[in-house]
Structure 1
Amino acid sequence: MLSVYEGFFSGGARIVHSDVVLGLREGGQYQRVLSVYAEVHREATRQRMEDDACYRALTAAGVGVGSLGRTFGVRGDSAVFSGPELAETARAMADVDVILSLKEQPLSLLNQAGLPRRPVVVALHRSDPENQGPALDELRTAIADGTVAACVCCAESTRAAYQAAGVPAELLHVIPNGVDLVRFRPDPARRIALRAELGIPDAAPVVVLAARYAAMKNVPLFLRAARAWLRDRPDGHVLLCGAGMTDANPELGADIADAFGGERPPAGRVHLLGVRRDMEVVYAASDVVALTSAWGEAAPLCLIEGMMCGAIPVTTDVGDSAAIVSGLGFVTPPDPQAVARAWDEAVAGRGALAPALAAGRERFSRTRMIASYAELIDRVHAGVTRPSLPETL
């Protein structure tokens, strides 16, 4: 089996997809990965494939990972693929039975004439196909010519959005996101260790936003809520994790200045942590996991990972977020005062909600997710006859 990535860069979809690849390999499937880009410049960061945590996890497990060597985000990047790039793709596809595409963007490569024909399963992780640029047209093209055998939707909102965009209902299968419940769990030792590292008192309330710096994440709303909350909670701390969540990002700096009315944030209480490879530690140290996104989310991984570590989720009503946190956390309108009040409610109600979080863990199991992917891929493979997908090379 071959998985095709647009690139390796920070984000929940790549974490989930890479975990699926690892899980399928653990189950005995042969796995290989091809990435269109070897380096990505976005969210005010340079992200090299070899530095990415997902890349390292895959290669450490023996999964072969190659790329076409492109760099995303620099002048001169082209949508046209060269002969050597197509030859490399054809070699990667030659001995596989099924291709798993991480989102619809890699279909611009897989739709190229002259490549071997293989059934493709597309993993969809957004609830706004209309905002995916030409990728939606590439998906429609691949469906029309029979290449796409199935689409995995990580949320009901994803299925509804893509069906409304014209994807046939029979191709859309919902497999909710899951996480490693051994890794993501409440852990007092982790909680103490990170708080000591950041100089946060043991009893101080902590809110974390784990998100890349992007417009859809609505970081300004989070920061305005943080200002209101920190003003009323002199012992409170907020953490921002993800690509672009550093002092080196001038756009984030401008957002902070605007949210705090030109004042400096309270000293030592707004922590910009950037990309972390130990999110289980960050979440365990937090009391609240926040999401303030305005659009695009489907089944946000941060909410699931945070909850499994004991943080109470507080989210805007986007994608399946409200359903994910139902009975376990809080849903707010996109208003900073309302968000700040919900953070307070979450901190106060953390003890009361802990039993519900513990009881709901199996619902978010990685094992369940991978078993569902494996079953769907097996069905796709069993239903394929090569004469219906003739070689064109």
Structure 2
Amino acid sequence: MLSVYEGFFSGGARIVHSDVVLGLREGGQHHRVLSMHAEVHREATRQRMENDTCYRRLTAAGIPVTALGRTFEGGVPATAFTGEELADTARAMAEADVILSLKEQPLALLNQAGLPRRPIVVGLHRSDPENQSLDELLTGIADGKVAAAVCCAESTRAAYEAAGVPGELLHVIPNGVDLIRFRPDAARRLSVRAELGLPETAPVVVFAARYDGMKNVPLFLRAAAEWLAREPEGHVLMCGAGMSEENASLLADVREAGVQDVGRLHMLGVRRDMEALYAASDVVALTSAWGEAAPLCLIEGMMCGAIPVTTDVGDSASIVAGHGLVTPFDPRLIAAAWSEAASARAELGPTLAASRERFSRTRMIASYAALLDRVSGRTTPRSHAGA
């Protein structure tokens, strides 16, 4: 199998896809990864491939990762490729039985003429195809190159079918996480709170997102201003690409939102210990306005014992049903929901624990393996793929 990435940078889709590749590798399949870009500048953050957590996990597991060497500086991705880049891609594709494309963007490369024909399975991780490389996806389908598309949510399937993708190509495989890594952990909770100077009993809200318009950061900050004013002991954690004091746009958003006690608003940037941050938190928040499908932060946070509070976008409402709260796009109501969720954490703990199998990585990887077997026409040996 060959997976093709647009690049290595912080984001849920890359985390899920990389975990799938690792799980399939654990199950006996041979994988390698090709990245179109070796360095990406986005969300006010310059992200080099070698520094990325997903890259490090893949290479540590013995999965070869190479790049075409490009640098993405934002804007519209290039669609023209050099002869050397196409030759490198052709050699990588020739060794594979099936190509996995992480989202639609790599199809700009894979649709190029003259490359080896291999069935392509595209991972779809959004519910707004109009803002993705939909034309490239439809071109790959019309040319017979795209054999299947994996939708991480029902909202994804519905949106892409409405956009013209044949329904028979769309397969829903909900996101899952490593239940061994993502779990309630009292020691992690205390450790992170000590590191950040958070009192043991303080209510804590975590917002794990990149600095992007779809994440609706201004709405989150207005809700944070309301909540911090009503919860004098509360703290808010923000993490992800661009969620740091080095991002001047974020600092302007903080001022515009009217956050009074910025000492209780912790802008942590990209973290590699998300399981610990979630375990240290009481609420995991999402305020996205569009584009979400099955937000990984909600699942990871829930599995660590944080109560999810989200706007109704993508499959978010169904993911948190019975486990958390869904809010309108109103900062006062969002702040009130955070307080309600923090107070209900002990009460909802058993419900979260009972739902863990539904969000299992094992289930997700087994479903991917079965689909890839069908697409390739082969049966690959597999062992247990982890929790």
Q: What residue in structure 1 maps to residue 45 of structure 2?
A: 45
Q: What residue in structure 1 maps to residue 190 of structure 2?
A: 192
Q: What residue in structure 1 maps to residue 238 of structure 2?
A: 240
When residues 124 and 89 of structure 1 are mapped into structure 2, their CA distance, relative to the original with a 3 A threshold, is same
Q: What residue in structure 1 maps to residue 340 of structure 2?
A: 345
Q: How does 1:60-71 map to 2 (within 5 A)?
A: 60-71=60-71
Q: What residue in structure 1 maps to residue 119 of structure 2?
A: 119
Distance apart, 1:383 and its partner CA: 8.0
Q: What residue in structure 2 maps to residue 388 of structure 1?
A: none
Output the CA distance in 2 between the equivalents of 1:108 and 1:383.
27
Aligned AA for 2:170?
Answer: L
When residues 90 and 310 of structure 1 are mapped into structure 2, their CA distance, relative to the original with a 3 A threshold, is same
Does 2:377 match 1:382?
yes
Output the CA distance in 2 between the equivalents of 1:267 and 1:365.
37
**1:117-170 per-position Cα deviation (integer Å, ceiling 9, x unaligned):** 0000000000000111xx100000000011011000000000000000000000
Distance apart, 1:74 and its partner CA: 6.1
Q: How does 1:143-162 map to 2 (within 5 A)?
A: 143-162=141-160
Output the CA distance in 2 between the equivalents of 1:75 and 1:101.
21
When residues 233 and 74 of structure 1 are mapped into structure 2, their CA distance, relative to the original with a 3 A threshold, is closer
| Paired residues of 2:102 and 2:124 also in contact (CA < 8 A) | yes
Q: What residue in structure 1 maps to residue 226 of structure 2?
A: 228
Distance apart, 1:95 and its partner CA: 1.4
When residues 380 and 77 of structure 1 are mapped into structure 2, their CA distance, relative to the original with a 3 A threshold, is closer
Q: What residue in structure 2 maps to residue 35 of structure 1?
A: 35
Question: Where does structure 1 lack aligned partners over 5 or more consecutive residues?
Answer: 385-393
Distance apart, 1:308 and its partner CA: 0.2
Output the CA distance in 2 between the equivalents of 1:5 and 1:32.
11
Aligned AA for 2:187?
Answer: A
Output the CA distance in 2 between the equivalents of 1:214 and 1:100.
26
Output the CA distance in 2 between the equivalents of 1:116 and 1:227.
54
SS at match of 1:67: strand
Does 2:308 match 1:310?
no
Aligned AA for 2:190?
Answer: I
**1:231-268 per-position Cα deviation (integer Å, ceiling 9, x unaligned):** 011000000000000001011011000001xxx63152
When residues 374 and 169 of structure 1 are mapped into structure 2, their CA distance, relative to the original with a 3 A threshold, is same
Question: Where does structure 2 lack aligned partners over 5 or more consecutive residues?
Answer: 380-387
Q: What residue in structure 2 maps to residue 390 of structure 1?
A: none
Q: 1:297 aligns with which of 272, 279, 292?
A: 292
Output the CA distance in 2 between the equivalents of 1:354 and 1:196.
23
SS at match of 1:245: coil
Q: How does 1:45-124 map to 2 (within 5 A)?
A: 45-73=45-73, 78-124=78-124
Output the CA distance in 1 between the equivalents of 2:236 and 2:75.
36
| Paired residues of 1:38 and 1:67 also in contact (CA < 8 A) | yes
Mean CA deviation greater in 41-50 or 72-81: 72-81
Distance apart, 1:78 and its partner CA: 3.5
Q: What residue in structure 1 maps to residue 169 of structure 2?
A: 171
Q: What residue in structure 2 maps to residue 180 of structure 1?
A: 178
Output the CA distance in 1 between the equivalents of 2:14 and 2:260.
32
Q: What residue in structure 1 maps to residue 15 of structure 2?
A: 15
Output the CA distance in 2 between the equivalents of 1:214 and 1:74.
12
**1:58-88 per-position Cα deviation (integer Å, ceiling 9, x unaligned):** 0000000001000001699732100000000
Q: What residue in structure 1 maps to residue 269 of structure 2?
A: 274
SS at match of 1:268: helix
Distance apart, 1:175 and its partner CA: 0.1
Aligned AA for 1:163?
Answer: E
Output the CA distance in 1 between the equivalents of 2:51 and 2:197.
28
Aligned AA for 2:70?
Answer: R
Distance apart, 1:30 and its partner CA: 0.3
Does 2:360 match 1:365?
yes
Distance apart, 1:12 and its partner CA: 0.2
| Paired residues of 1:71 and 1:77 also in contact (CA < 8 A) | no
Output the CA distance in 2 between the equivalents of 1:74 and 1:45.
11
SS at match of 2:263: coil
Output the CA distance in 2 between the equivalents of 1:113 and 1:23.
32
Q: How does 1:123-142 map to 2 (within 5 A)?
A: 123-132=123-132, 135-142=133-140
Q: What residue in structure 1 maps to residue 382 of structure 2?
A: none
Q: What residue in structure 1 maps to residue 251 of structure 2?
A: 253
Output the CA distance in 1 between the equivalents of 2:257 and 2:263.
17
Q: CA RMSD in A?
A: 1.3
| Paired residues of 2:42 and 2:74 also in contact (CA < 8 A) | no
SS at match of 2:310: strand
Identity of aligned residues (%): 75
With normalisation by structure 1, the TM-score equals 0.95
When residues 349 and 43 of structure 1 are mapped into structure 2, their CA distance, relative to the original with a 3 A threshold, is same
